[in-house]
Chain A
Amino acid sequence: MIEVKNIRKKYGGKTVLEDISFTAEKGDITCLIGLNGAGKTTILNAIMGLTPIQSGQILINGEVLHKASYEKISYIPDTISMSPQMKISQGLQFMDDFYSSWNHKRASELLDFFSLSENERISRLSKGNIAKLNILLGLSLDVEFIIMDEPFSGIDLFSREQIAEVFTSNLIEDRGVIITTHEINEIEHLIDKAILLYDGTVLKEFCTEETREKEGKSVVDVMREVYQK
């Protein structure tokens, strides 16, 4: 489980995260929803230890993040971190050299799944294929948690559908996933838990099936209530 407890962060004089708390369970897909500037990416960066926080605590399976945690959790940022002149095969080699949790077999499965060719140069790939490669790199680590920043943003419909398919396939297995999005429609049925953010605060945290069952409301219904007050 990933526990985010009362984290606060300021950039200069501006408070960007104000007392953020939520949990993400293993085996669940947890979705951080909010407009641009709500703090989604900052929260992910904080979980990964990429940006300092002023107060609060983040625990992964009960432990504070340390060097070995990076073999338990993988981060798929919204832009690819590989150099554009590399071939896909070189990108895979780079990951293999860097992480002991790299799973070569899964990487091959994902190459097939996304119909990507190892000999292709990253700079020559379409935006949709770069997004797929980016996800491939993160998913091919044998980690318990995967964190994805806006995996559906700015790419074509068919690429989005293919990426959504990953979530229902055995490529995710029983790992815990945190994703961010500002566009919920296509993934309503994929997520277990939604966390609605606004201006650095959590407005609501709820389990999607429970809300459908008890209140007869979709995720979009709840968003309308919470955001249009």
Chain B
Amino acid sequence: MNFNNREPVYIQVIRHFKEQMASGNLEPGQEIQSRRELASKLKINPNTVQRAYKEMEDQGLIYTERNSPSRITKDKQILQEVREELILQAVDSFITSVRSIQVPLDDVLELIKQKYQNGK
């Protein structure tokens, strides 16, 4: 994972988790790594991971039962929201870059269809 130095690292960690959840790499109820394990893996400060976990807990993305490791939420609505949020973000950033080169919408849609299917 590559980090952007200008964006809070904890926010980038949360986004990483959301992507993993949306893609199904992290399943509902799955145990997540401890603070230290993740800090070692991503080579970042454990305090930063701690902050990301706390924030995810507050947002209901993960939950912790007494004395056990944190797990990914099983709440279907939250998982659905994460998915929608990521899709919207991706579409927004796509639109921003395409708009800047002033391509007509129909041309873009046609291109998307072609490329999307070819990419499969």
**Interface set, chain A 148-207, CB cutoff 8 A to B:** 164-165, 167-170, 188-192
Judge if B80 is at the interface, Cβ distance under 8 Å: no
Q: Which of A29, A169, A216, A220 sits near B7, CB closer than 8 Å?
A: A216
Tell me, rounded to whole Å, the shortest Cβ–Cβ distance linking A225 to chain B.
Answer: 13
Is the Cβ of A169 less than 8 Å from the Cβ of B36? yes
Judge if A10 is at the interface, Cβ distance under 8 Å: no
Which residues from chain B contact A165 at a C-beta distance below 8 Å?
A: 40, 43
B contact face: mostly helix, strand, loop, or mixed: helix
User: What is A's interface to B at a CB cutoff of 8 Å?
Assistant: 27-29, 164-165, 167-170, 188-192, 209, 212-213, 216-221
Is the Cβ of A169 less than 8 Å from the Cβ of B40? yes
Which residues from chain A contact B6 at a C-beta distance below 8 Å?
A: 212, 216-218, 221
Which residues from chain A contact B104 at a C-beta distance below 8 Å?
A: none
Choose among A29, A165, A167 the residue with the greatest number of B CB atoms under 10 Å from its CB.
Answer: A167
Annotate B24-59 by CB proximity to A: 1 below 8 A, 0 otherwise.
000000000000100110111111100100000000
User: What is B's interface to A at a CB cutoff of 8 Å?
Assistant: 3, 5-11, 36, 39-40, 42-48, 51
Q: Which 5 A-B pairs rank lowest in CB-CB distance, beginning with the nearest?
A: A218-B5, A168-B39, A212-B8, A213-B8, A189-B44
Cα of A180 to Cα of B44 in the assembled complex, Å:
18
Tell me, rounded to whole Å, the shortest Cβ–Cβ distance linking B53 to chain A.
Answer: 14
Q: Which of B36, B46, B48 sits near A209, CB closer than 8 Å?
A: B48
Cα of A216 to Cα of B10 in the assembled complex, Å:
13
